[in-house]
Amino acid sequence: MIKLGGSVITDKTRYKTLRTDVLARLAGEIKSSGKDVILVHGAGSYGHIIAAENELQKGYLRDSQITAASQVMEDVKNLDLDVTKCFNGAGMPCVSLPPSAITKLQSGKLNELDCEVFKEYLDIGIMPVTFGDVCLDSERKFGICSGDQLMMRLAEHFKPEVTIFCTDVDGVYTSDPYSNDDAELIKVITQDVLNKLPRTQHCADVTGSIFKKIEHMLNIAEYSKAMVINGLVPGRLKAALCNEEVIGSRVECCNERN
Ligand code: IPE
Distance 133 CA to ligand 1 centre (A): 7
pLDDT (tens digit, 9 = 90+) per residue, 63-97?
999 999 999 999 999 999 999 999 999 999 999 99
Taking domain 2-251, whether its CATH number is 3.40.1160.10 is answered by yes
Question: How far is 102 from 97, CA to CA, in rounded Å?
Answer: 7
Lowest mean pLDDT among 83-87, 174-178, 226-230: 174-178
pLDDT (tens digit, 9 = 90+) per residue, 109-168?
999 999 999 999 999 999 999 999 999 999 999 999 999 999 999 999 999 999 999 999
Across the chain, which distance is largest between two alpha carbons, in Å?
Answer: 51
Question: Nearest to residue 42, comparing CAs of 158, 139, 168?
Answer: 168
Sorted by where each begins, the domain ranges of the chain are: 2-251
Distance 155 CA to ligand 1 centre (A): 18
Strand partners of residue 226: 163, 251
Which atom in ligand 1 lies closest to the alpha carbon of residue 133?
6
133-137: strand order across its sheet: 109-113, 103-106, 133-137, 141-145
Residue with the smallest CA separation from ligand 1 atom 9 is: 147
Question: How far is 30 from 9, CA to CA, in rounded Å?
Answer: 14
Q: Where are the alpha helices (DSSP H) in the chain?
A: 6-9, 20-33, 48-53, 64-89, 99-102, 116-123, 147-158, 191-196, 210-220, 236-241
What is the per-residue pLDDT for 205? 77
Query: Does residue 253 carry a pLDDT above 70?
Result: yes
Annotated binding site for ATP: 3-7, 44, 168, 209, 213
- Residue 206 Cβ inside 6 Å of ligand 1? The answer reads yes
Instruction: Give the type of residue at 212.
Output: K
Question: How far is 48 from 54, CA to CA, in rounded Å?
Answer: 10
